[in-house]
Amino acid sequence: IAGITQAPTSQILAAGRRMTLRCTQDMRHNAMYWYRQDLGLGLRLIHYSNTAGTTGKGEVPDGYSVSRANTDDFPLTLASAVPSQTSVYFCASSDQAGGQETQYFGPGTRLLVL
Amino acid sequence: GQNIDQPTEMTATEGAIVQINCTYQTSGFNGLFWYQQHAGEAPTFLSYNVLDGLEEKGRFSSFLSRSKGYSYLLLKELQMKDSASYLCAVMDSNYQLIWGAGTKLIIKP
């Protein structure tokens, strides 16, 4: 693989169910991010990780959790999905956090919560 | 609060030039990014400005004025493949990217 992969590509989920979105990068980037993108709104940061073993909350963290056990993987978990979590979810990574570091994005996961 | 403003949609003709504006109000400034996003795809990096002035990269140029909180992306010799959304994002004092909603650019033959 090259770059960032996300799984699944799309998912329909019943409200109240638990769901984990997977993200893997093979660029050995230190920093990783989870965003959601909704029509008419800019990308909004959910959670981030500046390096393996550390995580932080972004602009819209409620209802989501993350872990960063190693450099490559950064899963996002919805503990109990609600319809307002219907969105397109993008995982991104950068070599380092901050400054002029370009963020590279995965292909996204389209989630519909009913 | 933090705010990034850009036009929702613009239309231009193949072969022409188009300028997409972005104004911002953020808590701190550590650079401004432009990304391109084709429908149904991931955003891809176009340009980065941290100092005032114009950065040119092929058919695309990006300008920044920090005192005015203003940037623009200039696309020359438009091609049909340039039809996409263009996202403006500012890195704030916490080194987090604040994103605009994007400008959908429609290219007509």
**Mutation test of the interface with chain B: which of A27, A29, A50, A103, choosing the one with the most B Cβ atoms within 10 A?**
A103
For residues A48 and A67, what is the distance between their CA atoms, to the nearest angstrom? 9
Q: What is the pLDDT of residue A40?
A: 87
Q: Using the Cα atoms of residue B13, residue B19, residue B24 and residue B29 in order, give the sign of their dihedral.
A: positive
Instruction: Find the chain A residues whose C-beta atoms sit closer than 8 A to any C-beta of B.
Output: 35, 40-45, 48, 58-59, 90, 97-100, 102-108
Q: What is the pLDDT of residue A100?
A: 76
User: What mean pLDDT is predicted for residues A36-50?
Assistant: 94
Q: What is the pLDDT of residue B99?
A: 96
pLDDT in tens, B61-71: 999 999 999 99
